[in-house]
């Protein structure tokens, strides 16, 4: 049987310790992709030798090497440019996909060709603290297609969360959304996936499909801790949403209130910058406050109590991981 037209892109930079978990999880998929492209971004920790070993043992794994460190966004976009598949799955080296992710995603995408991508519940695990919660819980009770307006309605109810680490996206939808934009740095995936979703709709699978391992030194964590740079990234994000290329989705972003995910830094920009005023809605304010409450719980409660809160408050799927 021919493999599905699915290319997996794995960006890597000095993740030799974690990379085997990622690649072994991909090799354990019940449906194997056409290819697994590992793009190494100038690693100095022995990653390349490790990847070359995987390539020798598994012919559908291939290695691309950046001549110098170019950053995550360039690295991922290069992987897409080199991919042969019509569908793309992004697998960061420090994340783990669950065995049936492709098996459950591909038939749903075939049944709903209008969808930009498929996604499911993501299992978030903070490595240092042991905190564990799920995103995407409550978006649906069965595998289904969700139109842009249905996504807006979910956002208004506080139930919308699109997890890129669970998503199989159509390559053409990814390109139409602008690929990943370098100036949006650690939020480039949010922008691209939400623009694609609010433009074309998505397929949703109501169960955990991948684990997002939150490391204290991750690109995302380190980026958000640099206040001035993070503010500039958010300013760029607002600027892109207000450009003509996003005219068909900007009202969906506003009405859903999804900018709440960026917390107080985004709230300050929405209140003080002209390009942010259009996003100031009661729903956005309500969700910002709720997000701050969740972060407070996560930051101040002991791990066991915080995890109990996440379970009782509906931030854990009833389906086992």
Longest dimension (CA), the chain: 57
Read off the pLDDT band of 252 (50, 70, 90): very high
pLDDT score recorded for residue 294: 76
Lowest mean pLDDT among 81-85, 97-101, 103-107, 123-127: 123-127
Regarding whether 192 and 141 lie in a shared domain, the answer is yes
Residues 6+ apart with CB under 8 A from 32: 3, 60, 102
Read off the pLDDT band of 237 (50, 70, 90): very high
Regarding whether 249 and 188 lie in a shared domain, the answer is yes
Average pLDDT of span 199-222: 87
Regarding whether 82 and 121 lie in a shared domain, the answer is no
Residues 6+ apart with CB under 8 A from 241: 191, 249, 250, 253
Average pLDDT of span 242-247: 97
Higher pLDDT, 241 or 288: 241
pLDDT score recorded for residue 321: 45
32/60 Cα distance (integer angstroms): 9
pLDDT digits (tens, 9 = 90+) for 256-265: 999 999 989 9
Read off the pLDDT band of 2 (50, 70, 90): confident
62/198 Cα distance (integer angstroms): 33
Read off the pLDDT band of 3 (50, 70, 90): confident
Determine contact, residues 283/257, Cβ cutoff 8 Å.
yes
User: CA 302, 133, 285: angle at the middle one, nearest 5?
Assistant: 90
Distances (CA, A) of 47 to 39, 42, 77, 239: 11, 9, 20, 37
Domain end marker among 79, 94, 109: 94
- SS3 per-residue string spanning the chain: CCCCCEEEEEEECCCCCCHHHHHHHHHCCCCCCCEEEEEECCCCCCHHHHHHHHHHHCCCEEEEECCCCCCHHHHHHHHHHHCCCCEEEECCCCCEECCCHHHHHHHHHHHCCCCCEEEEEEEEEECCCCCEEEECCCCCCCCEEECHHHHHHHHHCCCCCCCHHHCEEEHHHHHHCCCCCHHHHHHHHHHHHHHHHHHHCEEEEEEEEEEEEECCCCHHHHHHHCHHHHHHHHHHHHHHHCCHHHCCCHHHHHHHCHHHHHHHHHHHHHHHCHHHHHHCCHHHHHHHHHHHHHHHHHHHCCHHHHHHHHHHCCCCCCCCC
Higher pLDDT, 208 or 311: 208
User: CA 238, 152, 298: angle at the middle one, nearest 5?
Assistant: 70
- Checking 302-305 for CB contacts under 8 A at 24+ apart, the result is 303/129, 303/130, 303/131
167/79 Cα distance (integer angstroms): 16
pTM, two decimals, is 0.94
Domain end marker among 94, 126, 155: 94
Average pLDDT of span 81-108: 97
Instruction: State yes or no: pLDDT of 320 exceeds 60.
Output: no
pLDDT digits (tens, 9 = 90+) for 37-63: 999 999 999 999 999 999 999 999 999
Residue percentage of the chain with pLDDT more than 70: 96
pLDDT score recorded for residue 297: 73
CATH number at residue 23: 3.90.550.10
- Checking 50-55 for CB contacts under 8 A at 24+ apart, the result is 50/16, 50/19, 50/20, 51/12, 51/19, 54/23
Other C-beta atoms lying within 10 Å of the C-beta of residue 111: 12
Regarding whether 129 and 50 lie in a shared domain, the answer is no
Regarding whether 196 and 54 lie in a shared domain, the answer is no
Regarding whether 146 and 70 lie in a shared domain, the answer is no
pLDDT score recorded for residue 196: 99
Lowest mean pLDDT among 102-111, 192-201, 295-304: 295-304
pLDDT score recorded for residue 81: 98
The closest of 14, 104, 3, 77 to 50, measured between CA atoms, is 14
Regarding whether 84 and 1 lie in a shared domain, the answer is yes
Average pLDDT of span 178-195: 97
Regarding whether 108 and 70 lie in a shared domain, the answer is no
Regarding whether 281 and 137 lie in a shared domain, the answer is yes
Q: Which two three-digit tokens encode residue 193?
A: 């996936």
138/238 Cα distance (integer angstroms): 28
Regarding whether 239 and 320 lie in a shared domain, the answer is yes
Domain end marker among 58, 74, 94: 94
Domain that holds residue 250: 97-321
Regarding whether 197 and 154 lie in a shared domain, the answer is yes
Structural domains in the chain (count)? 2
Regarding whether 214 and 135 lie in a shared domain, the answer is yes
């Amino acid at each position: 049987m021919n493999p599905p037209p699915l290319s997996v892109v794995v960006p890597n930079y000095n993740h030799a310790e974690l990379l085997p978990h990622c690649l072994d999880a991909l090799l354990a998929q019940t449906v194997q992709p056409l290819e697994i492209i590992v793009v190494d971004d100038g690693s100095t920790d022995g990653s390349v030798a490790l990847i070359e070993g995987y390539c020798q043992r598994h012919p559908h794994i291939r290695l691309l090497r950046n001549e110098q460190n170019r950053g995550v966004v360039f690295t991922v976009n290069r992987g897409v440019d080199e991919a042969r598949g019509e569908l793309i799955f992004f697998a960061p080296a420090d994340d783990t996909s669950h065995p049936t992710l492709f098996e459950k995603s591909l038939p749903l995408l075939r049944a709903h060709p209008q969808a930009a991508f498929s996604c499911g519940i993501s299992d978030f695990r903070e490595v240092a603290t042991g905190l564990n919660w799920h995103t995407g819980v409550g978006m649906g009770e069965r595998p289904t297609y969700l139109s842009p307006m249905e996504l807006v309605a979910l956002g208004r109810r506080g139930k919308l969360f699109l997890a890129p680490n669970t998503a199989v996206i159509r390559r053409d939808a990814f390109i139409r959304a602008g690929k990943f934009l370098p100036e949006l740095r650690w939020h480039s995936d949010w922008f691209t996936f939400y623009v694609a979703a609010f433009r074309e709709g998505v397929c949703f699978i109501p169960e955990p499909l991948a684990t997002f391992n939150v490391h204290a030194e991750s690109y995302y964590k380190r980026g958000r801790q640099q206040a001035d740079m993070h503010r500039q990234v958010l300013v760029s994000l607002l600027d892109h949403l207000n450009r003509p290329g996003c005219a068909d989705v900007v009202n969906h972003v506003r009405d859903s209130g999804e900018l709440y995910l960026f917390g107080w830094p985004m709230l300050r920009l929405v209140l003080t910058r002209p390009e942010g005023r259009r996003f100031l809605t009661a729903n956005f304010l309500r969700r910002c406050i709720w997000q701050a409450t969740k972060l407070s719980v996560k930051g101040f409660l002991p791990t066991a109590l915080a995890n109990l809160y996440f379970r009782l408050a509906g931030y854990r799927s009833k389906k086992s991981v």
